[in-house]
Amino acid sequence: MHSVEEIKNGVYWMGCNDFLTPLFERIFPIPDGVSYNSFFIDDEKTCVLDAMDKVCRDEFLEDVEYLLHGRQLDYFIIQHMEPDHASSALALVEKYPNVKIVGQAQTFKFFEQFYSEDYKANYMTVTEGDQLDLGKHKLQFIKAPMVHWPEVIMTYDLTDKILFSADAFGMFGTVGNIFADQVEYEEEYLDEARRYYVNIVGKYGAQVMAVLKKASGLQIDYVCPIHGLVFRTPETIQYIIEKHLHWAQYIPEKKGVVIAFASIYGDTARAACVLANKLSKAGVHNVMMYDVSKVHPSYINAKAWEYSHLVLAAPTYNLNLFLPMENFLHDLSTLSFQKRKIAVLGCHTWSSVAHKEMVNYVENVFKNCELFPTTLDMKSSLHKDQESIIDAMAKEIADDVAAYPDPNTPAAKRTVRVYDYSR
């Protein structure tokens, strides 16, 4: 059997859902699985764009064979060599040994690092602006370094205005429909698209912006990523591009406060809850609490990207910052988290370390972040005489949230670079 669908004029989607893998890249929980996309162009010359993870190898090869209808495969474009796509590449080349393998010079370097088999005679090296003529379809290549591997190229179909975007515009989660306009995207898929972007690509915001600027010179009628849904309407294309512009520039999408806390015996959690309640009574909408000891950092990272303000609350443990909070903050820093105002609440019994370390992250490790003036370093638990400090923290945060420009207003949207991709 096969799982294929024509996108337009002989361009086909091939897809596979992985429901079994518990952790993407052995780090990120994917309770809803993950999808893999490959694309086939049926023309005078046949072409496959990207392979799939080895867990989908059989399905991938079966779909290619079905679409070839007994013909030879002429071209195989490898947009990057990351194994969640390229671990089926060798199997495809072995099945079609005369295929031309299309990629950048660094692609082939990585190919040889992963595989010992010699296919140098099959290499077709391309770079920025080069074109591949398949007959009706003419493809042009766009360099996209560090989105999110160094040798990434995207492929643009000049004929049908299709951008094959590699890992860009992808998401966690499996799919039933293949087009974004067939689903309630914002309700059902946006959170996992954001979590995917933040944790997989988020570090490379500048590089993402550079590629989006390049793409702004193209008319784009379809966006075909290698994870998740295909975008084919002006509305869905503009929507997902605007989201990526927010994410790549570290600009919040919504006003609100994320409270990331850790607590050993409950005292820090209690203080965080008291602060949350005071924020609520001060009129702050969207106050959300996440226990970094229980919730995987990838989810909290994504929420920190989504909302305008952040609170950190954690105790000292073994003369260090409590490790789950340390891990969370380290994770944020590796993703180049920035452009937020952050409040800090620490707790200790005999040695004050947590408060100092969290303040250091805000002031010296994170980029372009600001510490709220009022902080609290509790001794063991929250006492009545410290309520005034919590009140002051809550007022500072509430006032700042109120003054923060609503990201959905026209004025705020002007701070996000918006390009016209539909010309």
Yes or no: say if 72 and 211 are a contact pair by the CB < 8 Å rule: no
- CATH number, domain of 173, equals 3.60.15.10
Output the tens digit of pLDDT for each of the chain's 423 residues.
Answer: 788 999 999 999 999 999 999 999 999 999 999 999 999 999 999 999 999 999 999 999 999 999 999 999 999 999 999 998 899 999 999 999 999 999 999 999 999 999 999 999 999 999 999 999 999 999 999 999 998 888 999 999 999 999 999 999 999 999 999 999 999 999 999 999 999 999 999 888 888 998 888 888 899 999 999 999 999 999 999 999 999 999 999 999 999 999 999 999 999 999 999 999 999 999 999 999 999 999 999 999 999 999 999 999 999 999 999 999 999 999 999 999 999 999 999 999 999 999 999 999 999 999 999 999 999 999 999 898 999 999 999 999 999 999 999 887 655 555 555 555 555
Candidates 82, 67, 84; CA nearest to 30 is 84
Neighbouring residues of 360: CB distance < 8 A, sequence distance ≥ 6 = none
Name the domain count of the chain: 2
- CATH number, domain of 290, equals 3.40.50.360
Residues 141 and 272 in one domain: no
Residue 412 lies in a domain: no
Dihedral angle computed from the Cα positions of residues 107, 109, 110 and 112, in that order, rounded to the nearest 10 degrees: 120
Residues 123 and 200 in one domain: yes
Q: Which of 205, 233, 248 is the last residue of a domain?
A: 248
Neighbouring residues of 47: CB distance < 8 A, sequence distance ≥ 6 = 40, 41, 73, 74, 75, 76, 77, 132, 134, 137, 139
Q: Which two tokens stand for residue 88?
A: 């089926």
Residues 235 and 351 in one domain: no
Candidates 244, 85, 230; CA nearest to 151 is 85
Residue 419 lies in a domain: no
Yes or no: say if 342 and 367 are a contact pair by the CB < 8 Å rule: no
Long-range contacts of 119-127 (CB under 8 A, 24+ apart): 119/93, 122/93, 122/97, 122/98, 124/75, 124/100, 126/102, 126/153
φ/ψ of 240, rounded to 5, equals: -70, -30
Expressed as residue numbers, the domain containing 344 is 254-401
Residues 120 and 226 in one domain: yes
Residues 198 and 58 in one domain: yes
Question: Helix 323-334 to helix 297-306 angle, to the nearest 10 degrees?
Answer: 50
Residues 180 and 265 in one domain: no
First to last CA, the chain: 39
Residues 196 and 294 in one domain: no
Yes or no: say if 255 and 374 are a contact pair by the CB < 8 Å rule: no
Candidates 111, 90, 83; CA nearest to 21 is 83
Residues 262 and 236 in one domain: no
Residues 238 and 91 in one domain: yes
Q: Which of 248, 265, 288 is the last residue of a domain?
A: 248
Residues 233 and 278 in one domain: no
Q: What is the DSSP letter of 349?
A: S
Residues 93 and 198 in one domain: yes
Neighbouring residues of 161: CB distance < 8 A, sequence distance ≥ 6 = 218, 219, 220, 221, 222
Residues 234 and 342 in one domain: no
